[in-house]
Amino acid sequence: MFLKTTLILLAFISVVYSQTDDEESFLFVTKQTVNRFIVQGKELTIKYGLYNSGPTTVFNVNLNDVHSYPSKYYELLVGTLNPKWERINAGANLTHVVVLKPKESGISNSSHAIVTYQKSEKNAEVQRTYSSEIGDVYIMTGREYDRRFSSHVIDWILFTAMASPCIVFPFFLWFNSKRKYELLASKDKATKKAQ
Amino acid sequence: MSNQRSTSRDEDLLLQDFSRNVTTKSRALFSGNAAVVSAIPLWLFWRIHQMDFSSYFIHFILGTIVSTYFLNLAYQNMKFILKHKIAQKREEAVNREISKIFASDKSANKKDKDDRVLTRKNEVADFEATTFSIFYNNAFYLVCLLVLSFFVLKNFSPTVNYLFSVALSTAMVFLFSTGQK
């Protein structure tokens, strides 16, 4: 009887200990762009969101996205592509923003960012996770962006100024002549009526 | 001798009245206007559609030449049609104008007066038909071009946009000028 109870107790304890994985935290990382359009030579904003799901703190969080945006094709304006945080508390949200400037146009693919962290301060074992990816994006040239979106008000005003003499001047000449002769004809009719 | 001269002068006036040929001055005026009106939209295509001259050089030259030629023809067609209509309308007014001038001059005879009326009527009709034809065709061409290029063909590539909008608006102006009676 005593042996049965001990064995059952031992079984319970081992089950509890083997379930420690559920109590560990897991980091969710999202990566997205805030821009509606990506244009060559204009700013591109990338936002990384890190969320610590689970009950424990994670330590030595390190995000590495240098491979997605090589300096040959992208100029880094604000922020770093390799940030580090000492800890992220349980249930905490963290965002990190990077501003880049694409140097070339065309289709570009940026892959996942790699995030490494430690689940406990004492245990140096590093957990690796990947962010979501943006996928293939089309970087349009500055010229195409201007063509589609800038307002061109001044261009239209100047065009109207250039084109109006071609229309207004002949109209004016014709109208003057027409009015002169119609007046003459109507005066003629008026005097005939009076007679 | 003077009779022969005056008959040939009458014939000349009649020929001038009924012929489609334009004088050199008229031709220069029409060609110049057509060239200017064809060239102005290029500026718009350069600035708004971002078509730079170095890469679209050939398209622009071709489009301008074609539209200049057909605009010229359209001006001439419309002028010829309008001239007769206007001449009929202005007959009375021109008569009155010439009578006023001749009222002070007692030595003039009826024949001279009639000649003068005919010449003056021709001049006035020519002038009004020319100016109206230029005004109307320019306005029609520019409106067609703007509507086609910035509304209908807005989302097509710049090359297609330019070539089709110039071709279609030129065709419309030309066909409209030949169609009227």
User: How is chain A split into domains, by residue range?
Assistant: 23-147, 151-195
Find the residue in A nearest to B91 (Cα): A185
What are the chain A neighbours of B132 within 8 Å (beta carbons)? 170, 174
Q: pLDDT digits over A73-114, tens only?
A: 899 999 998 999 998 888 899 999 999 999 988 888 888 888
A with B: how many residue pairs have Cβ under 8 Å apart? 67
Predicted pLDDT at B34: 92
Predicted pLDDT at B147: 93
What is the Cα–Cα distance from B65 to B35, expressed in whole angstroms?
8
Q: Is residue B48 part of a domain?
A: yes
- Please, which residues 51-70 of chain B have a Cβ atom closer than 8 Å to chain A? none
Instruction: Give the total number of structural domains in chain B.
Output: 1
What are the chain A neighbours of B32 within 8 Å (beta carbons)? none
What are the chain A neighbours of B53 within 8 Å (beta carbons)? none
Question: What average pLDDT does chain B have?
Answer: 85
Residue B24 pLDDT exceeds 60: yes
Return the higher-pLDDT residue of A189 and A51: A51
Q: pLDDT digits over B52-73, tens only?
A: 888 889 999 999 999 999 999 9
Return the higher-pLDDT residue of B117 and A99: A99
Residue B173 pLDDT exceeds 90: yes
Q: Is residue B15 part of a domain?
A: no
What are the chain A neighbours of B131 within 8 Å (beta carbons)? 170-171, 173-174, 177
Asked if the C-beta of B132 comes within 8 angstroms of chain A's C-beta atoms, the answer is yes
Q: Is residue B165 part of a domain?
A: yes
- Chosen from A154, A159, A175, A182 to mutate, greatest number of chain B CBs within 10 A: A159
Nearest-Cα distance to chain A for B10, in Å, is 24
- Chosen from B37, B50, B79 to mutate, greatest number of chain A CBs within 10 A: B50
Q: Please indicate whether, in this complex, the C-beta atoms of B135 and A171 are within 8 angstroms of each other.
A: yes
Q: pLDDT digits over A24-79, tens only?
A: 778 899 999 988 888 998 999 999 999 988 888 888 899 999 888 888 889 999 99
Contact B106, B52 (CB under 8 A): no
Residue B4 pLDDT exceeds 70: no
Residue A188 pLDDT exceeds 70: no
What are the chain B neighbours of A177 within 8 Å (beta carbons)? 124, 127-128, 131
Which of B83-92, B101-110, B112-121, B142-151 has maximum average pLDDT?
B142-151
ipTM of the complex: 0.81
Q: Please indicate whether, in this complex, the C-beta atoms of A177 and B142 are within 8 angstroms of each other.
A: no
The token pair that represents B135 in the structure block: 């005004």
Predicted pLDDT at B164: 93
Q: Is residue B39 part of a domain?
A: yes
Predicted pLDDT at A15: 66
pLDDT-derived band at A170 (thresholds 50, 70, 90) equals: very high
Q: Which of B44, B97, B131 sits opposite A170 (nearest CB)?
A: B131
Predicted pLDDT at B11: 67
Nearest-Cα distance to chain A for B3, in Å, is 32
The token pair that represents B26 in the structure block: 């008229």
Contact A54, A26 (CB under 8 A): yes
Mean pLDDT to the nearest integer, A9-22: 64
Q: pLDDT digits over B98-108, tens only?
A: 888 877 766 66
Contact B50, B12 (CB under 8 A): no
**Is the domain defined by A23-147 classed in CATH 2.60.40.10?**
yes
* Weakest-pLDDT range from A6-15, A131-140, A158-167, B154-163: A6-15
Q: How far is CA B9 from CA A51, A54, B116, B119, in A?
A: 100, 109, 12, 11
Asked if the C-beta of B154 comes within 8 angstroms of chain A's C-beta atoms, the answer is no
Residue B20 pLDDT exceeds 80: no
Q: Please, which residues have CB within 8 angstroms of residue A76's CB and are 6 or more apart in sequence?
A: A69, A98, A99, A100
Mean pLDDT to the nearest integer, A145-153: 79
Mean pLDDT to the nearest integer, A135-154: 83
**Domain that residue B98 falls in:** 22-177
- Please, which residues 73-112 of chain B have a Cβ atom closer than 8 Å to chain A? 90, 92-94, 96-97
What is the Cα–Cα distance from B54 to B56, expressed in whole angstroms?
6
> How many Cβ atoms from other residues are within 10 Å of residue B117's Cβ?
18
Q: Which of A147, A155, A173 sits opposite B44 (nearest CB)?
A: A155
Residue A106 backbone class (left: φ over 0; alpha: ψ -120 to 50; beta: rest): left
Q: Please indicate whether, in this complex, the C-beta atoms of B132 and A170 are within 8 angstroms of each other.
A: yes
Q: Is residue B65 part of a domain?
A: yes
The token pair that represents A63 in the structure block: 């995000």
